[in-house]
Chain A
Amino acid sequence: MSRTVILGAGISGHTAATRLRQRLGAEHDVIVVTPNARWNWIPSNIWVGVGRMTTDDVTFDLAPVYQKLGITYVQAKGTSIHPEGDVTHAQPYVEVEHTSRERMGQVERIPYDYLVNATGPKLNFGAVPGLGPDGHSLSVCTASHATEAARALEETIARMRAGERQVLVIGTSHGTCTCEGAAFEYVFNVEHEIRQRGLRHMAEIYYLSNEHELGDFGVAGLHMEVGGFVTHSKSWAESLYTERGIHWILQAHVERVEPNVVQYETLDGEHHTLRFDFAMLLPPFGGVGLKSFDRTGADTTPTLFAPNGFMRVDADYTAKPFEQWAPGDWPSTYQSPHFDNIFAVGIAFAPPHQISKPFKSPNGTVITPSPPRTGMPSGIMGRTVANTIADRILNGSGAPNHLASMATMGAACVASAGSGLLSGTAAAMTMYPIIPDYARFPGTGRDLRFTFGEIGLGAHWIKRLLHHAFLWKAKGKLGWQLIPE
């Protein structure tokens, strides 16, 4: 009998738990520790943020699903890892703090044989003064944030209807933010909603981003074949923003958000202000603050975790310039270099460096997207680690690791550009590999046979299809195993 503890139930943690349960008999425990009572299909929060969906459309209760699947569910947040146990017991354990109403604040030790850190990000609104729902801007990072954004958008639209011209600012905040794709989706969905109400002439819409060029998306953009040319997503994105009349401000690091004013620095070192009536600015991500301790109780957090709070895995963390970055820098097993029974997947693992080329302003401000590692890559990592652990439990600790490097996997992304069964559009994009390999694919870094982008209603239907398919899968309904990550 073995016990695997998974911290977090986002896409990577939930995938790891369900795939592990699928492979292991009932005599083996699979335990998920997550502070949330409900699972959230985050990609559809964009539609909650414009009032096209409700919180109930994108979330469901975890407890009955885990009960059905035979997974033990603990509503708590992991606070510390003790990979060597303590002075009295050598059994590794995690310490968790309960978050359910019944057990709020209670601390519990959960021993483990294998540990998967899938804790996702801390939404670090504190990195920018005045940022976030507790400050002066909005967010769509959680379903409740998105609901609040939808309410604010309705109020903004009501003011337009009353004859007040409105300025909307949507994008990223801190210079090191990630998830530019989500900001892209939200700005186009907001524009679409306003246009559908016949009020487009009353809105001035800005996209504010830390990207060096439009279409970077934190992955250095992508090249694709269009009309007999190999073009970069910059051209493609600029075309779409121009067509929809959305202004863009790039290479920006938001320094402060005040009531109706955003202050930002650009890569040239200049400082600017922009007045707004509605602002949705994504926060930077950080690790959730997990600590680790050795057998004597000494703090080993700096050994297991990078300074940003993400867990070190089998990546090459040697500091080197962009020109020396290589696909081999990226991890493939997601195993801790210090403990072979600890893994970190999804956003929780520490990337070796950015994917986009890093830039710094003359003031020393880093303005470069952090690498996205959500969605499809997260799911694949979760499944890969689940297979590694299952093999070891079933075949012995010498079983080889399964591999899934972002340098050898592709990603599909369908970015909504407006909702509606007959009027919606979305940008469907795939790329292979996620990490550009300029040695294998000179000039583009990607295999153009597997890299493309297309805008249209058909892509919107795919986005809707994915919404239903992944919720079906996450709920463990009939045939869920057949839906790929």
Chain B
Amino acid sequence: MTIPATNTEAAPPAPYSAESFIPVPTARTRAMRTFIPWQLWRFVVINLRMLRMIAKSHD
């Protein structure tokens, strides 16, 4: 069973509560976090960005 990467059981924040002013991801953003084709691409991109930073640190 694939579990969504978000807590759909959490109650939405009450109006004017501190949490209600915090940006939360849209359903599309949440879905993309575990959407395999997109995440394969992000896997490559993140690795490349990390390698770039590591190369910078080893100057």
Which residues from A are CB-within-8-Å of B34? 422-423, 425, 456-457
Q: Which of B10-26 contact A (CB under 8 A)?
A: 10-11, 13, 19, 22-25
User: Which A-chain residue is minimally distant from B13 (CB atoms)?
Assistant: A242
Contact partner, A430, options B3, B13, B53, Cβ 8 Å: B53
Interface centre among A195, A380, A428, A456, by most chain B C-beta atoms within 10 angstroms, is A456
Q: A420-B3, A430-B50, A462-B47 are in contact. Are A243 and B9 (CB under 8 A)?
A: no
Contact partner, A461, options B13, B22, B23, B43, Cβ 8 Å: B43
Which residues from A are CB-within-8-Å of B32? 456
- Chain A: interface residue total (CB-CB under 8 A): 41
Would B9 and A238 count as touching, CB distance under 8 A?
no
Q: How far is the CA of A201 from the CA of B11 in the complex (A)?
A: 10
B28 in the interface, Cβ–Cβ < 8 Å? Answer: no
Q: Which of A38-96 contact B (CB under 8 A)?
A: none
Looking at A260-268, A366-374, A447-455, the stretch in contact with chain B turns out to be: A447-455
Would A456 and B39 count as touching, CB distance under 8 A?
yes
Q: How far is the CA of A420 from the CA of B5 in the complex (A)?
A: 10
Q: Which of A433-460 contact B (CB under 8 A)?
A: 450, 452, 454-459
Would A425 and B43 count as touching, CB distance under 8 A?
no
Which residues from B are CB-within-8-Å of A245? 7, 9-11
Would B36 and A457 count as touching, CB distance under 8 A?
yes
A200 in the interface, Cβ–Cβ < 8 Å? Answer: yes
Would B24 and A243 count as touching, CB distance under 8 A?
yes
Which residues from B are CB-within-8-Å of A459? 42-43, 46
Contact partner, B54, options A418, A455, A484, Cβ 8 Å: A484
A445 → chain B, closest Cβ, in Å? 15
Q: How far is the CA of A454 from the CA of B32 in the complex (A)?
A: 12
Would A239 and B54 count as touching, CB distance under 8 A?
no
Contact partner, A422, options B10, B24, B36, B53, Cβ 8 Å: B36
Of the four ranges (under 10, 10 to 19, 20 to 34, 35 or more), the interface on chain B belongs to 35 or more
Q: Which of A218-235 contact B (CB under 8 A)?
A: 235
Which residues from A are CB-within-8-Å of B59? 408
Which residues from B are CB-within-8-Å of A408? 57, 59
Q: How far is the CA of A169 from the CA of B52 in the complex (A)?
A: 37
Contact partner, B53, options A195, A239, A243, A432, Cβ 8 Å: A432
Which residues from A are CB-within-8-Å of B10? 200, 243-245
Would B42 and A239 count as touching, CB distance under 8 A?
no
Contact partner, A458, options B3, B30, B46, B54, Cβ 8 Å: B46
A409 in the interface, Cβ–Cβ < 8 Å? Answer: yes
Q: How far is the CA of A201 from the CA of B39 in the complex (A)?
A: 29
Q: How far is the CA of A457 from the CA of B3 in the complex (A)?
A: 12
A181 in the interface, Cβ–Cβ < 8 Å? Answer: no
Would B9 and A239 count as touching, CB distance under 8 A?
no
Which residues from B are CB-within-8-Å of A200? 7, 9-10
Would A380 and B57 count as touching, CB distance under 8 A?
yes
Would B50 and A454 count as touching, CB distance under 8 A?
no
A251 → chain B, closest Cβ, in Å? 15
Would B57 and A409 count as touching, CB distance under 8 A?
yes
Interface centre among B10, B39, B53, B59, by most chain A C-beta atoms within 10 angstroms, is B53
Would A456 and B42 count as touching, CB distance under 8 A?
yes
Q: A244-B7, A410-B53 are in contact. Are A422 and B23 (CB under 8 A)?
A: no
Which residues from B are CB-within-8-Å of A410? 53-54, 56-57
Q: How far is the CA of A418 from the CA of B7 in the complex (A)?
A: 12
A127 in the interface, Cβ–Cβ < 8 Å? Answer: no
Which residues from A are CB-within-8-Å of B42? 454, 456, 458-459
Would B24 and A428 count as touching, CB distance under 8 A?
no
Which residues from B are CB-within-8-Å of A180? none
A412 in the interface, Cβ–Cβ < 8 Å? Answer: yes
Sample of 17 more A-B contacts, CB < 8 Å, known A235-B22, A242-B19 = A242-B13, A242-B22, A243-B24, A245-B10, A410-B54, A410-B56, A422-B36, A424-B5, A432-B56, A432-B57, A450-B52, A454-B42, A454-B46, A456-B34, A456-B42, A459-B42, A459-B43
13 A-B residue pairs with Cβ-Cβ distance under 8 Å, sorted by A, are A200-B9, A239-B22, A243-B10, A243-B24, A410-B56, A423-B5, A428-B46, A455-B33, A456-B42, A459-B43, A461-B39, A462-B43, A462-B47
B contacts, CB < 8 Å to A: 2-7, 9-11, 13, 19, 22-25, 30, 32-34, 36, 39-43, 45-47, 49-50, 52-54, 56-59
* CB-based closest 6 A-B pairs: A245-B10, A458-B43, A458-B42, A458-B39, A409-B57, A457-B39
